[in-house]
Amino acid sequence: MTITQILIIVFFTLLLAILKRGRDSFLLIASILTIFWLQPALPIRGFDFWIPIATLIITIFTWLITADNKLNRKNIFTLVIIAGIILLLNATRYFSFAQILTPSRPPQIEITLIIFLIFGFIFFLLMKYNASFLTFGLILLLSIFLILKISAWTIELSSLLRALNNQSLTNVSAFDIRWLGFSYVAFRLIHTIRDKQAGRLPSIDLSEYITYVIFFPAFTAGPIDRIERFIKDLRQPFAGLNTELFFSAGQRLLIGLFKKFVIADTLALIALNDTNATQVQSTGWMWVLVYAYAFQIYFDFSGYTDIALGIAKFIGINLPENFSSPYLKPNLTQFWNNWHMTLTQWFRAYFFNPITRWLRSWQKPLSMAMMILLTQVATMLLIGFWHGVTWNFTIWGLWHGLGLFIHNRWNDFTKAKSAEWANTSFRQSLLNVSGIIFTFHFVALGWIFFALSSPVTSWQVILKLFGVN
């Protein structure tokens, strides 16, 4: 989001907070409008209009396969509101002055009506017949995720869509398809499907579910909230904006704006990237680039989180924290317990813990060391693939997975000796400071693979850092 878009969102959020009334309806409508407004323009005709609709379709589909009480007046009314908003946005194609909420001119409204009829019939069947499509829902979400993350598959899809639109295939690119917010949407949807399978998903109406999935302050950059926690806040009566709430939320918002648009954007001018990685020859300046990127990605990401938490707090929604001074942690395990916390907690709950239990259930269970190695490396590889299925993200995932395993083994081996040695406050401080310095540099070196697109370039940067030409 740009600073202009953030300020517009803040203005309307404060307006709602002052008026006090209609919060739930505002959040639903504002969230739907925002996913159209923030979606970037795409070269494939009409696709930047269809992607937000696809977000709504898969959200409604997931609600239908997880909800218990579907056929009631409130849920049907919500469907009518969604359809009405989409048709009104579609109708702006006939009024050029009104096209401010879509990135390009919407497609012909007749096509939208046909889509409505097709998916309306499918939704009707899902509402009428209580068949279980939970596994199908997981496969669908993971398939879309892989198509968007594997460049070769994205290019194939782009070629197909261009051909259907009678557009040239000359400039086909993986960047033709940018589904804004899908990674975070997918995590929220998978979370509710898995909780439904485990029998712990609370009863939620359609309006609440859509608001949770595409909640506009957290739609593009998180944090990844749990539905039971979010719904608890949403169902609390909203008393409106008071002085204490205004200053608390406003302070968080201003801190986020300063982090993102002052510190992070300034550091971005000198942070490591594919261009300056090959231009800089000096060891000292290469370290400056690496340090700049390490702090730029932190202030950028944590800044967006602070902005989301501040905006949500204005209207009584307390989103979970996502960062807690991760660069000041003395080991890699604590770093990951405090960096993008909602992401690591999600993977811990829905991958790490289940696969650990599965490995322990074997008739001939693996040794503890082998089990830790497999689970930690697999978890970090998946976190890497979540950012993109490339060689560099694979190496980054292995870097942290192996780092976590080595720290775990080293900690078990040296715990008693370290406690015996660090028997004074000075020695404890020395041990803590040395751990912080070592952990920060381990993470910073890992960011090289995250920042660059090629393993070859990444290796050249590492060699330059240590004075090897």
User: For residue range 31-73, what is the model confidence (pLDDT) as tens digits?
Assistant: 999 999 999 999 998 899 999 999 999 999 999 889 887 778 8
Tokens standing for 413? 């081996």
What average pLDDT does this structure show over 327-355?
94
Q: Let me know: does 376 contact 408? Beta carbons within 8 Å.
A: yes
pLDDT digits (tens, 9 = 90+) for 156-177: 999 998 988 888 888 888 888 9
Closest C-alpha to 353, from 194, 467, 220, 465:
194
Going by C-alpha positions, the residue among 220, 317, 310 that lies closest to residue 259 is 310
Provide, rounded to the nearest whole percent, the portion of the chain with pLDDT above 70. Answer: 98
Q: How far apart (Å, rounded) are the C-alpha atoms in residues 225 and 173? A: 33
Which residue of the set 387, 400, 407, 441 is catalytic?
387
Model confidence, pTM? 0.91
Confidence of residue 128 (pLDDT cuts 50, 70, 90): low
Locate 167 and state its tokens: 């557009």
Q: What's the pLDDT at 118? A: 82
Note the pLDDT of residue 335.
96
Assess contact for 140 and 77: CB atoms under 8 A: no
At 131 the pLDDT is: 55
pLDDT digits (tens, 9 = 90+) for 409-468: 988 888 878 877 877 888 888 889 999 999 999 999 999 999 999 999 999 999 999 988
pLDDT value of position 362: 82
Look at residue 130 and tell me whether its pLDDT is greater than 70.
no
Whose CA is closest to 204, among 230, 165, 175, 237? 230
User: Which token pair is 387?
Assistant: 């950012």
pLDDT of 269 > 70? The answer is yes
| Mean per-residue pLDDT over the chain, rounded | 90
HSE of 36, CA atoms in CB hemisphere, 13 A? 24
Determine the pLDDT at residue 323.
95
Is 407 considered catalytic here?
no
Q: Give the torsion through C-alpha atoms of 54, 55, 58, 59, to 10 deg.
A: -150
For residue 360, what are its two tokens?
A: 């322990």
- 98 has pLDDT over 70: no
SS3 content of the chain, % helix, strand, coil (to 5): 75, 0, 25
Say if residue 123's pLDDT is above 80. Answer: no
Helix-then-strand count for the chain, H and E: 21, 0
What pLDDT score was predicted for residue 129?
58
